[in-house]
Structure 1
Amino acid sequence: MSQEIEIEFKNLLTLEEYEQVYQYLPFKSVELIEQTNYYFESDDFKLREQGAALRIRKKNDQWMLTLKQPHEEGLLETHDSLTEEEANLWIQNKMVEKPHTKKQLRELDISVDELTYLGSLTTRRKELEFKETTVVIDHSLYYDEEDFELEVEAPSKQQGEEVFEEILSACDIPKRETDNKIRRFYKAKLKSE
């Protein structure tokens, strides 16, 4: 599938809160996945201005180029598969156009020629199915930063919100306004310059 709507709820956690969620749900029995996001942007931050983000991620030995854009129900994700060689070219600022993301970028008035590689963010992730949602706990590392996060991905806003609220309430965690990973990455990048 080249496009999908992502409905998710996020909350930054302290290390102690991360451990509470880890104990509350059966995360011990779940395999740890390490994944790295490689981020791209134009010099004048056209993607960020439009609330969009472009990344490459290797997952299950598959390289995927993903453009995330705001959508009334959540985020519209547009995907293109990449070979390892193509992914490496992108990271070396030798972008290879791919059909689905090219079309969406064109709608945002952005050409792949304008894009440059910004850097990477590595996440140690555990995820499990819970009440017909996917619950994720992440430990992310980027620049001199590290953070912990709870994510709930759901087929509907109502279902996602109910599970999200249940976990926060059960673990006595306050709801926090939480930027997505790319925004946190941008802030850390600007601090490091």
Structure 2
Amino acid sequence: MPEIEKEFKNLLTKEQYDALVNDYKEVFTKDVTQTNSYYDYEGLLQEHKMALRIRIVEGKETGEITLKIPQSSLVVLEYTEVLPVDILNAYNHDKQFTLPTTLQEALEDKGITIQTVNQTALLTTHRLEGALSENEWLVLDESHYNGKVDFEMEMEVRSLELGEPVFLGILAKYNILRRQAESKIKRALSTR
């Protein structure tokens, strides 16, 4: 079953990121480093504004393959398969793999037939996460790719209407200009 992800994203400067890390340190309950490897087939997913990602979190025995299908600029439908890390590492080593049947079927529902995909981008992210409330989950990312580093704040929410004022309030408090972050895959691909 797909999950619906609702989130606000904003790029940060290093100084803004450091201020948020310091001020929200009591909120963060997760501190992880993860590798995201992105895959496509001849640009077909990118052409349809979709993304396919393998995520491996340091120290975990399983990772995930996630297909992201945007529903709007703030809402994404996600199909995820959990697999052992050694299998995912083999996929990343080979820089290609055959899609699990569930993901093939999700794409076929959108009129796209793909079986094998190839790696297009790779990035590593240091992520801090924690709940601000039952509705808002704050995420701060420091991502490294192709010799570049960027900083981002994400706020995952159950309700866009309730979450937006909280998100905008944080931006205002820290004098952060609203700069909607493009997806990590787009940022990584733009620096190839």
Q: Which residue of 1 aligns with 2:103?
A: 101
Alignment of 1:76-91 (within 5 A): 76-91=77-92
1:182 equivalenced with 2:188 (yes/no): no
> Shift in Å at residue 58 of structure 1?
1.6
Q: Which residue of 2 aligns with 1:65?
A: 65
Alignment of 1:2-17 (within 5 A): 2-17=1-16
> Shift in Å at residue 107 of structure 1?
2.9
> Shift in Å at residue 88 of structure 1?
3.0
Q: Which range is displaced more, 91-100 or 53-62?
A: 91-100
Structure with greater helix share of residues: 1
- Identical-residue share of aligned pairs (%): 32
1:34 equivalenced with 2:33 (yes/no): yes
Aligned mate of 2:123, from 104, 121, 124:
121
* Residues 85-115 of structure 1 deviation map (CA, whole Å, 9 limit, x = unaligned): 43134221452331321211223413122x2
For structure 2, the residue ranges without an aligned partner over 5 or more in a row are none
1:158 equivalenced with 2:161 (yes/no): yes
Q: CA contact under 8 A between 1:93 and 1:117: conserved in structure 2?
A: yes
Report SS of the residue matched to 1:63: strand
Q: Which residue of 1 aligns with 2:21?
A: 22
Q: Which residue of 2 aligns with 1:52?
A: 50
> Shift in Å at residue 54 of structure 1?
0.2
Q: CA contact under 8 A between 2:2 and 2:77: conserved in structure 1?
A: yes
* Residues 41-88 of structure 1 deviation map (CA, whole Å, 9 limit, x = unaligned): 112x11011110001112343211000011146000001122234313
Q: CA contact under 8 A between 1:152 and 1:163: conserved in structure 2?
A: no
For structure 1, the residue ranges without an aligned partner over 5 or more in a row are none
> How many residue pairs are counted as aligned between the two chains?
186
Letter in 1 for 2:63: W
> Shift in Å at residue 169 of structure 1?
1.3
TM-score (norm 2): 0.88
Letter in 2 for 1:71: Q
Letter in 1 for 2:77: L
Aligned mate of 1:146, from 146, 149, 161:
149
Root-mean-square deviation (CA, aligned residues, Å) is 1.9
Letter in 2 for 1:68: K
Once residues 11 and 5 of structure 2 are traced to their aligned partners in structure 1, the CA distance between those partners, rounded to angstroms, is 19
Once residues 53 and 21 of structure 1 are traced to their aligned partners in structure 2, the CA distance between those partners, rounded to angstroms, is 28
Q: CA contact under 8 A between 1:27 and 1:127: conserved in structure 2?
A: no
- Which 4+ stretches in 1 moved above 6 angstroms? none
* Residues 149-179 of structure 1 deviation map (CA, whole Å, 9 limit, x = unaligned): 0000000111221221111111121111320
Q: CA contact under 8 A between 2:53 and 2:66: conserved in structure 1?
A: yes
Once residues 13 and 75 of structure 1 are traced to their aligned partners in structure 2, the CA distance between those partners, rounded to angstroms, is 22
1:171 equivalenced with 2:170 (yes/no): no
Letter in 2 for 1:104: A
